[in-house]
């Protein structure tokens, strides 16, 4: 049976999303022993997401630095502060600041 290009693309996108999820999990598990390996996993996850146009979840977006692509662990290599209605993530490697607005309830 011949698969259509659209079905094949959606299948590849699903596989890529699953692999990105696995890379995030592995980065979290391996961070204590090898932070460099965790950073490499983040680079691979980002590249794969860009190639297959997979969007990161909001939790995944907060787990890596947008400038140096290092895996962020609050209190170890990043600082998290609440300041003027925003959550600020400061990467201690490159000192990049990511701000996330806190919505009103």
Counted domains in the chain: 1
Q: Do residues 22 and 57 make contact, with C-beta atoms less than 8 angstroms apart?
A: no
pTM for the whole structure: 0.85
Write the CATH number for 66. Answer: 1.20.5.420
**What is the reported pLDDT for 104?**
72
> Is residue 30 a contact partner of residue 38, using CB atoms and an 8 Å limit?
yes
Cα 39–Cα 40–Cα 43 angle in degrees, nearest 5? 90
Residue 103 dihedral angles phi and psi, to the nearest 5°: -80, 155
Q: Which domain holds residue 91?
A: 5-101
Q: pLDDT under 70 in the chain at which residues? A: 1-6, 105
Cα–Cα dist 27/81, whole Å:
23
Provide the pLDDT for residue 9: 75
């Amino acid at each position: 049976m011949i698969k259509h290009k659209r079905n094949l693309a959606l299948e590849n996108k699903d596989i890529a999303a699953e692999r990105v999820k696995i890379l995030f999990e592995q980065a979290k598990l391996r961070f204590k022993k090898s932070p460099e390996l965790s950073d490499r996993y983040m680079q691979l996850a980002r590249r794969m997401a860009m190639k297959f146009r997979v969007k990161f979840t909001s939790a995944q977006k907060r787990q890596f630095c947008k400038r140096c692509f290092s895996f962020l662990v609050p209190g170890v290599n990043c600082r998290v502060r609440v300041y003027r209605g925003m959550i600020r993530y400061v990467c201690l490697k490159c000192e990049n600041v990511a701000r996330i607005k806190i919505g009103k309830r």
